[in-house]
Amino acid sequence: MMRLYKFSVFILCLLPISLLLYKFYFDELGANPFEALTRQSGEWTLRFLLITLSLTPLKMLLSKSGPLKFRRMLGLYTFFYASIHLLTYVWFDQFFDWTEIWVDIVKRPFITIGMLSWFILLPLAMTSTKGMKKRVGRYWKKLHQAVYLIGMLVLLHYFMLVKADYWWPVLYSLFFIVLMAFRFQFAQRHRIRVLFFIKRLFRSGSVTEL
């Protein structure tokens, strides 16, 4: 049954890019289709990132590990859409002119932040397999905690791009803050429980007897 669920989620995750390509092919993306393709692929990157980050809080709320089974897939789809977003910029906006791209990175802060986000996301995608997780070892978890930094950078990148209507950037930012607050609260409770357990061990003399 889980395989069926994963396959269904896999297909659903392909719908946004399929719809974008359909609209692009049939010239339904407006007066500037290349700009629309870049913008919407970036928005889907942020959505997939937030969905991926919400899986652990969802697991905590449900007290079930089911949601975490989709985390790797959704994380890779985040990288997939981020790469499409980057490709549309490099291809349609700069025509693979690496000199101009470098000038853009240096002179335009939102491009700098966007590029930085992708390069931080890259090693997370590369180490997402079970084999790489074993190779990286105890540093794997610390490496993948960079996803929270990526979340902040992507939101900042989005805010810097928007010129008038800040409704969606604010909404996504609030959702991100709620997720982070939930995780922080859970982590604090977990630390308190661990400290309480250690104190009980010392009081009972179990530690000194070991």
Structure tokens at 40: 């919407």
Helices (H), ranges, 108-166: 109-126, 130-136, 139-144, 146-161
Structure tokens at 82: 């981020």
Q: Are 50 and 109 in contact (CB under 8 A)?
A: no
Q: How far is CA 191 from CA 42, 141, 153, 188, in A?
A: 36, 18, 28, 5
Distance CA 178, CA 171 (A): 11
Residue whose entry in the numeric block shows the structure tokens 């939102």: 110
pTM over 0.95: no
Q: Are 13 and 77 in contact (CB under 8 A)?
A: yes
User: pLDDT (tens digit, 9 = 90+) per residue, 58-106?
Assistant: 888 887 888 889 999 999 999 999 999 999 999 999 999 999 999 999 9
Residue 33 confidence (pLDDT)? 93
User: pLDDT (tens digit, 9 = 90+) per residue, 1-42?
Assistant: 888 999 999 999 999 999 999 999 999 998 899 999 999 999
Residue 208 confidence (pLDDT)? 43
Q: Domain residues of the chain, as ranges?
A: 2-201
Structure tokens at 130: 């079970």
DSSP structural state of residue 91: I
Distance CA 56, CA 63 (A): 10
**Angle CA 147–116–14, to nearest 5:** 60
Structure tokens at 131: 């084999």
Confidence of residue 114 (pLDDT cuts 50, 70, 90): very high
Structure tokens at 102: 């470098």
